[in-house]
């Protein structure tokens, strides 16, 4: 997989109430766009893909979503992590008509089509460590959350 950028500037704590998954997607996509990782088509491509192929993983606990889209919308590979103080309803990957409450969003901006699968496996391993996910959610700063999640892309 090509080098993937992930640092504390790509970790966003979101404390607002009443957000939708689209609100969160657009917020994280804006961070990636501001830093030059993605094209201005990326946010809409994420929203469109999510509407047809939802990405929430229901772990019966602390749930995670992994929005991503076609590589044509990406300039440089990166991951932006949203840590939600107030979980957001998100459609499930395995049951698209059902939703679950998502607390962490790992938005992928990848430049190689096959890299999505590799990163998905890493994110699933992270999600399965519910203790680590809880620590990331409880982190008091983006730096602290990043330090905990940094191993995700190792």
> How does pLDDT run across 29-82, given as a tens digit for each residue?
999 999 999 999 999 999 999 999 999 999 989 999 999 999 999 999 999 999
Exposure string over 46-70, b if 16+ CB within 10 A, otherwise e: bbebbeeebbbbbeeebbbbbbbbe
Place of tokens 């030059």: 36
* 107 DSSP β-pair partners: 80
CA distance 36 to 30: 10
**The pLDDT of residue 117:** 80
The model's pLDDT over 100-138, given as tens digits with 9 standing for 90+, comes to: 999 999 999 999 987 778 888 888 888 899 999 999 999
Residue 7, pLDDT above cutoff 50: yes
**The pLDDT of residue 1:** 45
Q: What domains can you pick out in the chain, each with its CATH number?
A: 8-149 (3.40.930.10)
Q: What is the DSSP letter of 35?
A: T
CA distance 19 to 73: 25
């Amino acid at each position: 997989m090509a080098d993937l950028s992930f640092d504390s500037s790509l970790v966003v704590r979101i404390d607002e109430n009443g957000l939708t998954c689209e609100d969160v997607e657009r917020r994280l996509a804006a961070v990636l766009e501001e830093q030059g990782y993605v094209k201005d088509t990326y946010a809409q491509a994420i929203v469109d893909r999510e509407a047809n192929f939802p990405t929430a993983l229901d772990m019966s606990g602390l749930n995670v979503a992994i929005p991503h889209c076609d590589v044509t919308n990406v300039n440089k590979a990166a991951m932006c992590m949203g840590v939600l103080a107030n979980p957001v309803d998100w459609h499930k990957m395995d049951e698209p008509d059902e939703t679950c409450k998502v607390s962490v969003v790992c938005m992928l901006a990848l430049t190689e089509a096959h890299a999505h699968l590799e990163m998905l496996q890493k994110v699933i391993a992270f999600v399965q460590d519910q203790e680590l996910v809880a620590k990331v959610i409880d982190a008091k700063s983006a730096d602290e959350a990043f330090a905990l999640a940094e191993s995700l892309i190792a």
